[in-house]
Structure 1
């Protein structure tokens, strides 16, 4: 295989895609450089090679890699916090990992690009991060919340967005975090957005979030079967709560997976 192929394989693998790649070649044609860039090369040097130039380029790329690693560490801290929030709620189990799985699958089913699918998977883990500021007596309450408690709970999307705001790598995740509790008819929170004004990634996560909540038992309700959950969500979508077409697409995807199993 060629150096282009190796570079492309490295950049397509999530485990190695951040490793800096410098391509060195005796070819000087412009099309060869373009081919190297398209393969994902971080830099491109032509022969004859001067060691001091290679050293300077590698040093620069390693510095960039260091900054990238620091960014990944910051992201890892937020994911850990999100899982910590989930662990505080005795009723949710592995809710976040299930949402990440469902949301990523639905994004791929809808032919979303790689960045949007990754944003959905991240949103599955981070959507309720803002609950870190919700007191345990509210978060763990096994009965209906009072009006005052509900007002506190409703602050968690904006809180989660504010926590993740400094990380530019989360720019596609922020609308998911903020808007996953909006309603198609504008009765949701925090901004009362309606219809297509609700970002599509938030609408996707909302569908899978509602589904997982319905099929999961809580102290105040039993778990619904998939069929009952489908009927409930389609009925609620017709009432204006959810994006009806996305609900149909989601259950169509689940049915396709069931038939293929």
Structure 2
């Protein structure tokens, strides 16, 4: 650990002797150790401290370790921090309780020092790798937001898509993982436009055939940007295929009908609706009624999945107050 930032370990145990033993075991190995005897104080400190590993005694009078673990794992700011429960309890039910609370590992009392060092080292490395992935995810998301910010005419396009596609996906009865994928796609679908020159991306008039060929590469560029991150694996088909058309006239692969991934077909309808109801340099915003008429005609002409479009129109009529265009002048 000489050439990298020290791993931080938070130990929570109401017995100060145990804190001292763990500190004397880990500190010589290069760990930065902080000990607390109060679990309630630990809950306050963890978000600020952001340790790489938490060692948590189970049997404490103020609050038991299972409760503390459950609270930390339910908080978005702390849920990725590995937690090791330290316990003298040997019953199978106790371990099941710990697993249900979200703990990552167990250590039995009396603690074996070599086992303690090995487990804390391994979990600290996992935490740092997770941190790097989260950082990489945030960078890609920032790229996507930067693309959106370039075009002042689209407003909060990504946020509008996220709200509407989440609501529509719930109406369709999609599973929660697919809803999350669609919400992420709302931010990431056009991240590939970062590879499109501004003179093409922001051109107010019609693109030339050559310029259009450059523009049509953005779904592939977006896929290439996101592919190295496993966390985006489910979003890749939506990024690549959200410009395909039901009749095969879309891009980049000219997929047709049900060969187009289902989530991409769901997403592209919401994307089309938002594009039609938003003011652009080359057009006024269409009203809700005009947009529905256009989408129905485009569906008849083979652009959109007919069954999904039927569901979308029903959904929009049901939620007219929430998603209809308010200012239609």
TM-score, scaled relative to structure 2: 0.71
Encode CA deviations 1:127-172: one digit per residue, 9 max, x unaligned.
1111112111111111111111111111110011011111111101
Encode CA deviations 1:69-106: one digit per residue, 9 max, x unaligned.
11111111111111111122232222122222222232
Between Structure 1 and Structure 2, the one with more strand by share is: 2
Encode CA deviations 1:201-257: one digit per residue, 9 max, x unaligned.
211221111010011011221111223222322232232211222233334334444
Which residue of the partner structure matches residue 269 of structure 2? 207
**Are 2:187 and 1:134 aligned?**
no
Moved more, 195-204 or 72-81: 195-204
Moved more, 144-153 or 241-250: 241-250
Q: Structure 2: 5+ residue runs without aligned partners?
A: 1-62, 324-329
**Are 2:157 and 1:95 aligned?**
yes
Tell me how far 1:5 sits from its aligned partner. 5.6
Moved more, 96-105 or 153-162: 96-105
Moved more, 242-251 or 92-101: 242-251
| Structure number, greater radius of gyration | 2
**Tell me, what secondary structure is at the counterpart of 2:234?**
coil
Q: How many residues align?
A: 261
Aligned mates of 2:305, 2:248 — CA distance in 1: 12
Q: Structure 1: 5+ residue runs without aligned partners?
A: none
> Is contact 1:90-1:140 (8 Å) kept?
no
Which residue of the partner structure matches residue 53 of structure 2? none
**Tell me, what secondary structure is at the counterpart of 1:24?**
strand
Correspondence list, 1:137-176, <5 A: 137-176=199-238
Which residue of the partner structure matches residue 53 of structure 1? 115
Moved more, 18-27 or 164-173: 18-27
Tell me how far 1:14 sits from its aligned partner. 2.9
Encode CA deviations 1:164-193: one digit per residue, 9 max, x unaligned.
111111101111110000011111100111
Moved more, 51-60 or 206-215: 51-60
Q: CA RMSD in A?
A: 2.5
Matching residue within 228, 233, 237 for 2:295? 233
Aligned mates of 2:252, 2:95 — CA distance in 1: 49
